[in-house]
């Protein structure tokens, strides 16, 4: 099977176990310094304690990571980072994974995405609301007139 059909975040998660979150962090922090594809193999360099030579390749119906780090296993965090970098490139956003959208309790902004948009008026309203709420709970923080 081809690398593209085998390489999914679900599979990476399963293979890497607890290393997945660390690999995700490496990827998000931009520690993948090189990523190239040769045939069904990804070849890259990933910064960690040292800079590691990392390969991710498809074999049969499985994906494997190969890395110059001492961790070993089928998929170390460096291999996860390289694979995630590649997947993000395929989706057209090589820099980082999109931040998950979280519904906010505050009604001024419906979602975190709205918060990151340029909404100066709403942001000011949110701050006013937060300050008001804070002063209600901590009246001693208000300057006495
Ligand atoms: Zn490694």
pLDDT for 2-36, tens place per residue? 899 999 999 999 999 999 999 999 999 999 999 99
Distance 70 CA to ligand 1 centre (A): 7
Distance CA 9, CA 5 (A): 11
> What residues pack around ion ligand 1 (CB closer than 5 A)?
67, 69, 76, 78
Angle, CA 110 vertex, CA 131 and CA 107 arms, to 5° = 40
Distance 78 CA to ligand 1 centre (A): 4
Show the DSSP H helices in 19-76 as ranges. Answer: 19-28
> Can you give the residue ranges of every domain in the chain?
3-90, 99-145
E strands in the chain? 32-38, 41-47, 51-59, 62-67
Tokens read off for 36: 């190239």
Q: Tens of pLDDT along 43-92?
A: 999 999 999 999 999 988 899 999 999 987 789 999 999 999 999 998 87
């Amino acid at each position: 099977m081809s690398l593209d059909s085998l390489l999914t975040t679900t599979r990476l998660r399963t293979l890497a176990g607890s290393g997945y979150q660390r690999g995700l962090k490496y990827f998000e922090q931009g520690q993948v310094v090189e990523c190239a594809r040769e045939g069904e193999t990804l070849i890259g360099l990933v910064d960690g304690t040292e800079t590691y030579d990392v390969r991710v390749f498809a074999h049969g119906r499985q994906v494997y990571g190969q890395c110059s780090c001492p961790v070993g296993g089928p998929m170390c965090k460096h291999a996860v980072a390289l694979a995630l970098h590649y997947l993000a490139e395929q989706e057209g956003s090589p820099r980082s994974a999109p931040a998950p959208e979280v519904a906010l309790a505050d009604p001024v902004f419906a979602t975190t995405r709205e918060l990151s948009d340029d909404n100066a008026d709403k942001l000011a309203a949110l701050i006013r609301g937060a300050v008001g709420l804070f002063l209600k709970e901590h009246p001693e923080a208000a300057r006495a007139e």
